[in-house]
Structure 1
Amino acid sequence: MKSTLRSFIILVFIAFFSNQIKAQTKGKFIKAVIGFGSSTSNYEEENPEIIDGSGFYTHAEYVLGITRWFSVRPYAGGIFTSTDEDKIKNPEGYKVETNAFLLGTKVRLCAPIPWVAPFIETGIGASIGSFETFTNYVMEKKNGVVAHIPIGFGLAVGPKNNIELGVSFYGNLSTEQSFGGFTAGYTFALD
């Protein structure tokens, strides 16, 4: 067990500090993302098929590539979801909806694999808008600014790793819902 852990630590050290890593480029970039947005309650519901929201998700990032495997990413975006009225088949009017603008900063770790580079990212930010969660367990409507924690993962593909497919998730710290998107994006070099 100790030799496996030691081997893993050595492998991670080599991967992260090698000068031959090609997964992410150093420099400054703009990344544009568009995708399918989704909102869900933070509680497990009896009938989760009814209690969700879907819609549109987008964001843009100013990418500061510090090293080939690490970058800082201030972002701005928006998510606009609503509950499909055809799905609501109950008199209670259960729904989960989000209409908000997003601001914050993320950091990304990107694996050193040419052409297909997996990544994971997290950070801190704020959501500005309206958040409605009406379910069996929660009856909340909030307008204003709430803190969120973004978590994302996906693949950066192509010879320059400038095309991305991923999932972005935002956990709100003061509302009873989470939201995110299934995304596709493109990165433009500024240098």
Structure 2
Amino acid sequence: MTLTLRYFIAIIFTVLFSSHSKAQTTGKFIKASIGFGSSTSHYKEENPEVIDGFGFYTQGEYVVGITKWFSVRPYAGAIFTSTDEDKIKNPEGYKVETNAFFLGTKVRLCAPIPWVAPFVETGIGASIGSFETYTNCVNEKKNGVVAHIPIGFGLAVGPKNNIEIGFSFYGNLTSQQSFGGFTAGYSFALD
């Protein structure tokens, strides 16, 4: 190892584990997110532009920051997507649409880096609504409750890391589609 590489590793280690890092503070917060929603089939298709739905995504979280690295996040939200009829270029009417409310609990691991802190999160939840998937491989319409596993990643930015840009993905366990959102969010302290 060269001397420069050793210094670089030492600096990164110091920044990541510094007690002055504020990427995620302890306490209680409310986080609100809004963004661009998308739903897609679980199967690879020959014509991918006809099997995606696009629309609106929103989510709220009650955040319990346990440490700078770890938080528990009960969440609730909604997604409304539809397949653009102008983009359907086949007579079969393939589409993937999601109109659902969802809720659950996630845990987040966040690197305590000032100003720009990457995070990853996962958990378990349920979606309640309508899930339509009509493709070459799938012909399914499901209404009701569907279990899902949320997976998210992104960046918490700003002097207090209370502004977030991220992607949330929800893999449905019993329907033939998944949904998610590219979002921007803001956290409000409750303390």
Counterparts of residues 59-138 of structure 1 (less than 5 Å): 59-138=59-138
Q: 1:19 deviation in Å? A: 3.5
Counterparts of residues 142-161 of structure 1 (less than 5 Å): 142-161=142-161
Could you tell me the percent identity over the aligned residues?
84
Q: 1:140 deviation in Å? A: 0.3
Moved over 6 A (4+): 13-17
Q: Deviations over 1:97-156 (max 9, x none)?
A: 000001100000001210000000000000000000000000000000000000000000
* Distance change in 2, residues 1:16/1:125 (3 Å): farther
What's 2:27 paired with?
Answer: 27
What's 1:6 paired with?
Answer: none
| RMSD over equivalenced CA pairs, Å | 1.9
In the alignment, the residues of structure 1 paired with residue 144 and residue 83 of structure 2 have an alpha-carbon distance, to the nearest angstrom, of: 20
Q: TM-score, normalised by structure 2?
A: 0.91
Which structure 1 segments of 5+ residues have no match? 1-12
Q: The residue matched to 2:49 in structure 1 has which SS? A: coil
What's 2:162 paired with?
Answer: 162
Number of equivalences: 182
In the alignment, the residues of structure 1 paired with residue 117 and residue 69 of structure 2 have an alpha-carbon distance, to the nearest angstrom, of: 10
Q: The residue matched to 1:67 in structure 2 has which SS? A: coil
What's 1:10 paired with?
Answer: none
Contact 1:21 1:69 survives alignment (8 Å):
no
In the alignment, the residues of structure 2 paired with residue 17 and residue 146 of structure 1 have an alpha-carbon distance, to the nearest angstrom, of: 40
* Distance change in 2, residues 1:104/1:15 (3 Å): farther
Q: 1:15 deviation in Å? A: 8.0
Which structure 2 segments of 5+ residues have no match? 1-12
In the alignment, the residues of structure 2 paired with residue 159 and residue 62 of structure 1 have an alpha-carbon distance, to the nearest angstrom, of: 21
Q: Deviations over 1:69-121 (max 9, x none)?
A: 10000000000000000011211110000000011000000012100000000
Q: 1:37 deviation in Å? A: 0.1
Q: TM-score, normalised by structure 1?
A: 0.91
Contact 1:16 1:69 survives alignment (8 Å):
no
What's 2:57 paired with?
Answer: 57
* Distance change in 2, residues 1:140/1:14 (3 Å): farther
Q: The residue matched to 1:49 in structure 2 has which SS? A: helix
Q: The residue matched to 1:86 in structure 2 has which SS? A: helix
